[in-house]
A and B are shown apart, each in its own frame.
Chain A
């Protein structure tokens, strides 16, 4: 049987759509872990990226930090923390947050650095205070790039939240991990399709978010 056959077998099963191991439940769990991790990562990375980018200091330290965080294997971190702390939400969240912080941090810094200095000068010349310059000029101009950083972080979180199932958590990874150990290939394929679909939906959501949030003036000039 090929992938399409397995997929049909998975999605055609009516019992797949209800209960604690049903698709709606697993999908909701997956979204829940992903949103929580993204929120924590944004709380950490956005302020740091905004401030360092605004002042233009600490760029090298930031780049080194991002490389180090990127080099940490998410899956290894998950297993290690689970062994050290026991089963729990923290061992699942730490690797996801560590994964999401570098892209948000680096693009936010770059976005703030990349704001045309003559714009900032013009705003100051118009008598804007420093905080108004930050919130009403630099941030809107930097927003498209900042959003792209959050987008790649979100997609990586959605992809990687799959591994939570390896330490007995829920989410869509449940189907993949269970399917692999039970040698039930239709579950593996079904889970993989759902995760990939969720990642693509995330991509679409960020595209829509960009249409809504980015000021038309900034969009036109790009």
Chain B
């Protein structure tokens, strides 16, 4: 009991509770992933529709992905200061890099027959995109979201190096400064569990969003 209490006890200099740090970590993770998704959906649609558009987009995003998170944070401090925005912008870009190819692959997996059938039923381009192509692409998009979300959760902790903007990662500097390994265990385990839980939720979302996949498998 005593051990458990100490596990959830956050040093007072962080001015936060364990649950507060978790909420902060979730905010720093989910805001970039959601914005990244909102940007990647139209971008992915354009890339799937206009083939010439995809290679340059892929090239630019790959180069962005090669910029280390810490370096990216540092470049941004000049413009956004030591705020959560500095952590969120790079994570948004990384999400975009992972999601755009996933969406394009998903859209391309829609067979020509399906597309033709939708057109024959009188679907316009936008409606066909929203009601036919997007749902069929859901498994590929979720696969991309899983990678982006889980990586973001663990990358947030690096934000600790730039003015204690690392949520649970802030426990790590205290762990080193006060030589308290328990705090490091706390950070590592909590972040890992958060990642696995978010991953599980995305798998659940895929099952709910694609009920036909289960029927096809059991049939």
Contacts and interface: CB of A to CB of B under 8 A. Distances in A.
B70 A173 contact: yes
Interface in A165-198: 166-167, 173, 176-177, 180, 188-189, 191-193, 195-196
Interface stretch (A18-26, A64-72, A117-125, A137-145): A64-72
B151 A70 contact: yes
A210 B9 CA distance: 51
B172 A67 contact: no
B70 A71 contact: no
Contacts of B10: none
Interface residues of A, number: 41
Given A2-B78, A162-B70, A75 B158 contact: yes
A19 B196 CA distance: 45
B22 interface: no
Contacts of A202: 66
B176 A82 contact: yes
Interface in B180-194: 180-181, 184-185, 187-188, 191-194
B63 interface: yes
Contacts of B150: 67, 70-71
Helix, strand, loop or mixed for chain A's interface?
helix
Nearest to B199: A67
Q: Chain B CB within 10 Å — which of A67, A70, A162, A180 has the most?
A: A70
A143 B157 CA distance: 34
Q: Chain A CB within 10 Å — which of B62, B68, B153, B168 has the most?
A: B68
B36 interface: no
A79 B192 contact: no
Contacts of A176: 70-71, 74, 161
B160 interface: yes
A80 B71 CA distance: 23
B75 interface: yes
Nearest to A71: B195
Contact of A83 (B157, B160, B179): B179
Helix, strand, loop or mixed for chain B's interface?
helix
Contacts of B32: none
A90 interface: no
A155 interface: yes
A98 to B, nearest CB: 10
Contacts of B180: 83
Contacts of A159: 66-71
B162 interface: yes
A76 interface: yes
Nearest to B70: A162
Interface of B: 62-63, 65-72, 74-75, 78, 146-147, 150-151, 153-155, 157-158, 160-162, 168-169, 172, 175-176, 179-181, 184-185, 187-188, 191-196, 199
16 contacts: A67-B150, A70-B147, A70-B151, A71-B150, A71-B193, A71-B195, A75-B160, A79-B187, A159-B66, A159-B67, A159-B71, A163-B70, A177-B161, A188-B74, A192-B72, A195-B68
Interface of A: 2-3, 67-68, 70-77, 79-80, 82-84, 152, 155, 158-160, 162-163, 166-167, 173, 176-177, 180, 188-189, 191-193, 195-196, 199-200, 202-203
